[in-house]
Structure formats: structure tokens, C-alpha cells
Amino acid sequence: MLDKKIVLKRGREKAILNRHHWIFSGAIKSAPEFEDGDILPVFSFDNKFLGQAYFNRKTSIAGRMLSFAPPSSCLRCGYGRQACGTSEDKCDVLKVIEENVKNAIELRKIFFDLKNTNSYRLINSEGDFLPGLIVDKYNDVLVIQIGTLGMEKLKANIIKILVAELDPVGIYEKSDSPSRLEEGLESFEGKIFGTVPDEIEILENGNKFLIEVKKGQKTGFYFDQREMRKLVGNLVKNKKVLNCFSYTGGFSVYAMKSKALKVDSIDISKDSVSLLEKNFKLNNLDIKNNNFFVGDVFEYLRNEKLDYDFIILDPPAFCKTKNEIVDACRGYKEINRLAIEKIKPKSLILTCSCSYFVDEKLFQQVIFQAAVDANRKVRIIQKHHLALDHPINIFHPEGNYLKSLLLYIE
């Protein structure tokens, strides 16, 4: 195996020694002939073994590390073979992958009581040391997203492990991320195991939601905002709430279950708003005295009075590439300026961004500019609470994409 290897340029091994998963194409000094997506050993310029990664010559991120263990150590545990007792024939990168999948599953068992929350993110890509792979659990159905060619070639192994460990009713793949195009992959969507119903009823913190994995955005639900939904629920009693970009009503259901006076929801998607109404009915919530708007949030904020005590701004990503940062910031500034300017005094705004290229510092600067233009006193009361099923690998800070600010407007 080690005679067919990737060798890095001088100094480019530092990130790998620090357990960062990515190898950029410019860091590679030499490479053998290989098929894109293959797993290859990685060496420093002075021939020190760094671990194993899968590689794709089509992409700027040419390699993604799967194992960081040195050759004198077990690739499974990272220490000597005597440390874990693994025999040499089992000591390979596929065992590392299997161990990481099992560890991800075990981590979620620590945090979630299935009687109260039976659905969550099961595998969070680099956050669970499995770059290019996302798995969400919706009750007894799994939905997977594969974003890289290397992980695509490992899919059969991943499915085998998931079935053995969890015995799901069905597995649905929804691999449609823009990164697949760069990887040389077409988008793929479809059932790959068992039975997958059109609608799945899930439970999150005692709240019920219907999920349409085949028609919904991403894998069907945004688990990453779970803690912020709880925060909103703790603050909305007897308040009038506006949920912008409401999707299927996660924040709306939490707010009404927490005795909000009224919750208005708006989203551009008619199908999403229809499912939101179903979620209200599923939770025995009033649908007559709350409004469900299908429309453009920007226009609603410009044209309506905004007689609310709490506004939620949780838009889809305005920015998916570096080239879109300026336009994205204009969009974030506009919706926040309008909300800050028009909301009642002594009210709250939860404003969020899931745009990776707009980092926390830049996002807060945009909100500052919006507050200046709105000529209102604004204070930050809370920042984003990370969902327990979305771990961030401390060696891979790029996984920290979601920002939220809870603002108090005087």
C-alpha cells in the first residue's frame, strides 16, 4: 500500500499534523496514478506517514483525511496495537470509518431520549470525522447526503454499517449539494434501502412534525436550530410573533406550544406553508387566529406594519460562494434594517445566517450597520446555541457555519 502514496510539499504537513481534514491541491508535491475517489496514504515531504485520505484531482480540496494514525500505530485507535488489542489484519481505514460511524451513533444516544426526541442529525461530516457524509434520523427512517466522490465510493460500506447498527425501516438518499458538480458527480435522489413513506411523523422536545424527505429542503428539517427553537419557546409567552422564512414551522410550533399570543408565519413556498398548517393541526394548535402567508419576506417587511413583540429571521443561505458575499450582506442588512426599524419598542428579534462564507464577525458587522441605519438602540442578548447533534470538530473550524443573534430593540 505505502509504495503508492501522496507526498506533500515542505511545510504543508502542519495542517494534517493538527488533524485538519482538508488537503488542497496546491499542497501536493507528487502523486501516483490513481482513480479519483481512491483512498491513498499521505506522506510529508521528508517521507513521514501522516495518515490516509481519499483524493479527487477535479477539486480544489484534493484530499480529505479519513485517518491520522502513524504507521507504527493502529489506524483504528491511533495508538499502538497493544492499546486496543486489534489484530493487524483488521487495522485499516475501513475499520476507522466503521468506528467513527458507531461513535457518532453512541454520542447521540447520550443526549437524546427517544420518548421525547426521536429524530436528529446522526452524522455531521467532519464534525464526526467522516468528511463528505451527512446522515439524519427521522424516527425510523434515515436520510443521507453524500457530497464527495470519495465518500460516494464508500457508500455501500456506510449503508451496511447503518443497517447493522440501527435496523432502519428505510434509507433515502438526497445528495444534491452544489459540491457534487465540482466532484464530478451528478445529483442523486431516491430510496436506497427498505421503505420510505411520503410523510414521516417525528418528535422533537415533545413537539410533533410531519417531514417530507422527498419534497422538503435539505433532508427535510433543520435540526441545527433545535436549541434556538427552545430559546424562542422560553421567551414568547403572551407575545405576538412573526416567523419569517418559516419553512414548515419549527419556530412557529414551538412558539404556539409555549403560549404565544399569536404567531404569523411567512414563506415563499406554498408547499412548505401547507405543511406548516398540518403541523399546527398535528399539535392541536389554533389555525384560525394565526396567519399563514405565502409570499416574499422582503416585500412583507417593507409593506406591513410589523406590530409584533418578537420577529424571527432565519433565511436560507444568501451566499453559497465567495463571489456572492457582497450581495448576501446586502440582503441580510435589508431584512434586519426593516425589522429593527419597524418592530415595537422593547421587542426581540432572532436573526440568523447559515451562509458559510459570511462568518460570525462579518454577520455581526452587518447587523450593526442595519441598526445604525434604523436609528434604534439594539443590544445582543444571546448568541447561537449549538445543537448537540451538530458537533464541530475542534481541528476543523470550517464546520461552524450557523450564526444567530438574539437582539433587544428599544
Residue 207 belongs to some domain of the structure: no
Within this chain, do residues 282 and 245 fall inside the same structural domain, yes or no?
A: yes
Residue 242 belongs to some domain of the structure: yes
- Of the ranges 56-60, 79-83, 118-122, 254-258, which one carries the lowest mean pLDDT score? 79-83
Within this chain, do residues 171 and 247 fall inside the same structural domain, yes or no?
A: no
Within this chain, do residues 151 and 16 fall inside the same structural domain, yes or no?
A: no
How many independent structural domains does the chain possess? 3
Q: What DSSP element (H or E) covers 232?
A: helix 226-233
Within this chain, do residues 188 and 237 fall inside the same structural domain, yes or no?
A: no
Is residue 4 very low, low, confident or very high in pLDDT (cuts 50, 70, 90)? confident
Tens of pLDDT, residues 353-380 = 999 899 999 999 999 999 999 999 999 9
Whether the pTM exceeds 0.75: the reply is yes
Range of the domain at 16: 6-76
Q: Domain ends where: 158, 178, 194? A: 194
What average pLDDT is seen over the chain? 92
Check residue 146 and give its pLDDT: 97
Within this chain, do residues 240 and 318 fall inside the same structural domain, yes or no?
A: yes
Within this chain, do residues 125 and 67 fall inside the same structural domain, yes or no?
A: no
Look at residue 395 and give its three-state secondary structure: coil
pLDDT at 129 over 60: yes
> Which residues lie below 8 Å from residue 353, measured CB to CB, with a gap of 6+?
315, 317, 318, 332, 363, 402, 403
C-alpha cell at 107: 454520542
Long-range contacts of 26-30 (CB under 8 A, 24+ apart): 27/62, 28/62, 28/63, 30/6
CB 95 within 8 A of CB 75: yes
Nearest to 392 by CA among 224, 150, 204, 166: 224
Burial 367-377 (b: 16+ CB within 10 A, else e): beebbeebebe
CATH code of the domain containing 370: 3.40.50.150
Residue 394 belongs to some domain of the structure: yes
Residue 35 belongs to some domain of the structure: yes
Burial 322-352 (b: 16+ CB within 10 A, else e): eebbeebbebbbbbbbbbbbbbeeebbbbbb
Within this chain, do residues 167 and 243 fall inside the same structural domain, yes or no?
A: no
Within this chain, do residues 114 and 241 fall inside the same structural domain, yes or no?
A: no
CATH code of the domain containing 118: 3.30.750.80
CA distances from 258 to 22, 134, 236, 325, 386 (A): 43, 31, 7, 36, 21
CATH code of the domain containing 51: 2.30.130.10
Residue 204 belongs to some domain of the structure: no
Residue 81 belongs to some domain of the structure: no
Residue 206 belongs to some domain of the structure: no
What average pLDDT does the segment 26-52 reach? 94
Within this chain, do residues 350 and 268 fall inside the same structural domain, yes or no?
A: yes
C-alpha cell at 390: 451538530
Q: Which residue has the higher pLDDT, 2 or 180?
A: 180
C-alpha cell at 313: 429571521
Tens of pLDDT, residues 63-116 = 999 998 654 444 444 444 434 444 443 347 888 999 999 999 999 999 998 899
Quick one: what percent of the chain has pLDDT higher than 90? 85
Check residue 76 and give its pLDDT: 45
Q: What SS3 string covers 321-385?
A: CHHHHHHHHHHHHHHHHHHHHHCCCCEEEEEEECCCCCCHHHHHHHHHHHHHHHCCCEEEEEECC
Within this chain, do residues 227 and 287 fall inside the same structural domain, yes or no?
A: yes
Check residue 217 and give its pLDDT: 78
Euclidean distance between the first and final Cα of the chain, in Å?
65
Check residue 321 and give its pLDDT: 83
Check residue 91 and give its pLDDT: 47
Nearest to 18 by CA among 43, 50, 45, 42: 50
Within this chain, do residues 378 and 329 fall inside the same structural domain, yes or no?
A: yes
Tens of pLDDT, residues 258-273 = 999 999 999 999 999 9
Within this chain, do residues 62 and 136 fall inside the same structural domain, yes or no?
A: no
What average pLDDT does the segment 338-351 reach? 98
Residue 215 belongs to some domain of the structure: no
What average pLDDT does the segment 159-176 reach? 96
